[in-house]
Amino acid sequence: MANRGPDDRTVATQVLAQYAASASAVPASSHALAEAKLALQRAEQARAAGDLTHAKHLEGLAREWAEMAQDVTRATSAEGRADQKQRAAASATLNIRKTQALIETLVARRARAQGELQQLHAASSAGIPSAALSAARLRPHSTAPAATKKAAPAGSK
């Protein structure tokens, strides 16, 4: 087995103490922490019974559970940060789309204004008074001239 640094019992005890002293544990890691505590208790019982081999194995198990609790806590924290960033990105995307739509609207308005300006320049160069051109623009457009009908006398076909 590779050298793991501090002994398993010390690491497991430190992790459990860390979580007991702070509220940094997340509900998802509570199972792993409970298993680490149970493994340490069983290791103590094995030591008390003189079974050092199993005590060492149980301390290793306690360390694994404690490190898993740390990993779960870090993963949960990372997922929370990722969710926040994803919401921020979605909000930014929505703002970009709104801005693009506004720009497209403004470009279309500018194009219409340029067209009207060109019409005014063309009309003024053709000699049409600008007051007449303005009046023509304000009148409703009709597709066909209105035909006036005379009412037929009553009784005739």
Rama region for 63: left / alpha / beta (φ>0; ψ in -120 to 50; rest): alpha
77-93 per-position pLDDT tens digit: 999 999 999 999 999 99
Rounded CA gap, 157 and 152, in Å?
Answer: 8
Domain ranges of the chain: 8-130
Task: Check if the beta carbon of residue 43 is closer than 8 Å to that of residue 16.
Answer: no
* Sequential DSSP letters for 20-57: HHSS---GGGHHHHHHHHHHHHHHHHHHHTT-HHHHHH
**Beta-carbon neighbour count of residue 44 at 10 Å?**
14
Rounded CA gap, 72 and 27, in Å?
Answer: 10
117-132 per-position pLDDT tens digit: 999 988 888 776 666 5
46-56 per-position pLDDT tens digit: 999 999 999 99
Mean pLDDT for all residues in the chain: 84
Rounded CA gap, 119 and 126, in Å?
Answer: 10
Structure confidence at residue 3 (pLDDT): 56
